[in-house]
Amino acid sequence: MNIKIIAVGKLKERYTKEAIEEFKKRLSSYCSLSQIEIPAQEIKDESLAEKYMELEGEKILAAIKQDSYVITLEIAANQLSSEDFAKKIKNLSNYGYNEIVFVIGGANGLSKKVSERSNFKLSFSKMTFTHQMARVILYEQIYRAFKINNNESYHR
């Protein structure tokens, strides 16, 4: 299984970088993992926020293959338990998807085109998280899903 994570913006805090590196190391025995960071558009004029989001969206879409299964992280979306998330990943593999792409938008959110490209919209919570923390949570939940699917301890 190939997992690609596309995220807008760079990780800034050392602790988030370290957490993600740890999960990448742990995930290496379960899947092929790649990460693409799309540079965040600097907002100099709030009235141009929509345009910046569209520019980020074009770069995101350019990094997605036609046959990839795309899961976008969005506020108003489906919430899954860890077990249901694990089932989703397992089912996608069983249905023959070779690559799952997770997309985390920037501070302005996701462009309409990226949201429309999504095969599944996922929300971690009704709470708001920084984009950096959302990335850590995503890596952890992907790792947890593989542990669950392999009947290995960790998730209890």
Q: Kindly state the average pLDDT of the residues 28-32.
A: 97
| Region 2-149: CATH code | 3.40.1280.10
Torsion (CA) 32, 136, 77, 67 in degrees, nearest 10? -20
For the chain, the domains span 2-149
Do residues 9 and 40 touch, judged by C-beta distance below 8 A?
A: yes
What pLDDT digit, counting tens, does each position of 76-105 carry?
Answer: 899 999 999 999 999 999 999 999 999 999
pTM for this predicted structure: 0.94
Is the pLDDT at 156 greater than 90? The verdict is no
Residues pairing with 58 in the sheet? none
pLDDT tens across 108-137, in order? 889 999 999 999 999 999 898 888 999 999
How large is the greatest C-alpha to C-alpha distance in the chain, in angstroms? 50
* pLDDT score recorded for residue 135: 96
Rounded Cα distance, 118 and 4, in Å: 14
Residue 155, pLDDT above cutoff 80? no
Q: Look-up: residue for tokens 């046959």? A: 67
Q: What is the pLDDT of residue 47?
A: 78
Of 67, 65, 55, 62, give the one whose Cα is nearest residue 110. 55
Query: According to the model, what pLDDT value does residue 51 have?
Result: 87
Residue type (1 letter), 22: E
Sheet with 2-8, side-by-side order of all strands? 32-38, 2-8, 99-104, 69-78, 120-122
| Dist CA 14 CA 16 (whole Å) | 6
The token duo for 147 is 């542990």
Per-residue pLDDT tens for 36-58? 999 987 777 777 778 888 999 99
